[in-house]
Amino acid sequence: MRSLHNVLAPAKLNLFLHITGQREDGYHLLQSVFMLIDWCDTLHFDVRDDGVIEREDLTLTLPADDLVVRAARALQQASGTPLGVHISLEKHIPAQAGMGGGSSDAASTLLALNRLWGLNWPLAKLLPLGLALGADVPFFMGGHNAWVEGIGEKITPIHLPESRFVVVKPTSGLETARIFGHPQLQRDTETATMPSFAVNPYGFGRNDLQPVAQALCPEVAQALHWLGSFGLHPRMTGSGSAVFAQLPDGVLIDSAPHSWQMRVCSNMAVHPQAGWAARES
């Protein structure tokens, strides 16, 4: 195998995000449900025999040392392979949106190169590399929608009913550190249970980061208000500026104002690369 083309890296939405506490080391304890959606980046991989790792940007220009390059280098160093790779990246998932685009790209890179370089590592061996790159990377490597707890490392696969969602990304972005470091962030939400979530999965809970995000980025409040004007019940996803709402049948939204990015997405039951790494050695 010398190439892998059209490797999809899907975005995620946080159906809810509760902050239940904070550890002594500063990390926040959370509960959330991560849901895969079909807003995807696309990656193409071609093996190099000289050990060089390089990335070509086909859409947006990204930082030279982004998560894709760091993921490839981490796997190359950990495995000792003499092979390299040319990675072409079609970037479509917005940055600073709370949709996990960079983490998803890194996860798809690890899974693809595990195959392309002939390593055939089990998932359990790849996951520590993913976690070192970012807290969301193991979720995308796991292959399924999930109930997430702890600091993001406790991942339990769950089933979600099929549905459509409208996702809006305002022009402005948000940096995760600004929100989690804000003194007004609520950090003591009562612990939830999976049975209580299952009663109303697309209406359960809230995003505890949203009030702080609205204060830091007025466009978040504007986007929430705009989606609400259609009779929807929007909320922010993750720690970024993107907002979303479940889209009932019969509700049509053709475009968003203010040059915002908008897509109508469907959720995904399984990650496109699920099964690319064996769960046991």
Catalytic residue among 91, 136, 169, 208: 136
Distance CA 207, CA 177 (A): 16
Summary count for the chain: helices (H), strands (E): 8, 10
Can you list the pairs that 205-208 forms with residues at least 24 positions away whose Cβ atoms lie under 8 Å? 205/15, 205/16, 205/17, 205/18, 206/16, 206/17, 206/18, 206/235, 207/14, 207/16, 207/17, 207/235, 207/236, 207/237, 207/238, 208/17, 208/18, 208/19
- Residue 208, CA atoms < 13 Å, CB-side half-sphere: 21
136 is catalytic: yes
Catalytic residue among 12, 41, 169, 208: 12
Is residue 23 within 8 A of residue 151, CB to CB? The reply is yes
Q: Which long-range contacts (CB under 8 A, 24 or more apart) does 198-205 make?
A: 201/15, 201/33, 201/160, 201/161, 202/15, 202/163, 202/246, 203/233, 203/246, 204/15, 204/16, 205/15, 205/16, 205/17, 205/18
For residue 187, give both structure tokens: 């950090």
Active site residue 49: no
Q: Any idea which residues carry the catalytic annotation? A: 12, 136
